[in-house]
Amino acid sequence: MRILLADDQRLLRDAVRPFLSKLSPKTHLIEASTFEEAMSAAAESGEVSLALLGQSLPGMDGVSGIRVFRREFPLAKVVVVSASPDIGMMLEAMDAGTSGVISKTISGRGMLNALRLIMSGETYLPAELVLAATRFAGGKVSEAETSPQAPIESTSFSPAEAEVIPLLLDGLSNKAIAQHCGAGEAAVKARLRGIYKKLGAVNRPQAVWALLAHGKIRSI
């Protein structure tokens, strides 16, 4: 798996490098300190599976650069790494087609969980930003893509589903949840489908958004 790590701070690249090597036994890491270097390195290396782009990467020009990268490398999952992510940046990054936003203050374990989630096809957003965005919207989410349809206040979860919810909120992948619960991945997927259905959500971001927005969970 080829991973591009592009950030102008060498200390950050040094800190992140060991964790990226744990994503796959065959990880090939490519590094860059500017957007131009990132584009050239990605083109020369062949297919890039995952690209971590620093929000302040010289030459990237914010969301415009993300769109350019996505256009040139449509198969790569793009993650924005930010020292101070905010609601506006998060929404713009998601609109540009990124697979997630990660804070530079996240723990190594947290980053691994987030990246594994992203590589499994899901989206990762910092819980505090999702919660802040919900509060900013007055506790309601108007966007069809992120708004669940069912009121969580009237939702009851089975004990098996309730066991999964905190792990879901922690950003663990299906495989990690299965290992934690001592269950198979198929069983975990079934529990998640049950949670999504009860929340009126169609994907993981919608479910997380609903759980964080209302915070009223009761098991049966």
pLDDT at 213: 58
Q: What is the DSSP string of 88-127?
A: HHHHHHHHTT-SEEEETTS-HHHHHHHHHHHHTT--B--H
CATH number of 2-125: 3.40.50.2300
For the stretch 148-189, pLDDT in tens is 444 444 457 888 998 998 888 777 778 889 999 999 999 999
pLDDT at 136: 47
Tell me, which fold does domain 141-219 have in CATH? Arc Repressor Mutant, subunit A (1.10.10)
pLDDT at 53: 96
pLDDT at 192: 92
Residues of the chain falling short of pLDDT 70: 127-155, 209, 212-220
For the chain, domain boundaries:
2-125, 141-219
Task: For tokens 């030459």, name the residue.
Answer: 59
pLDDT at 145: 42
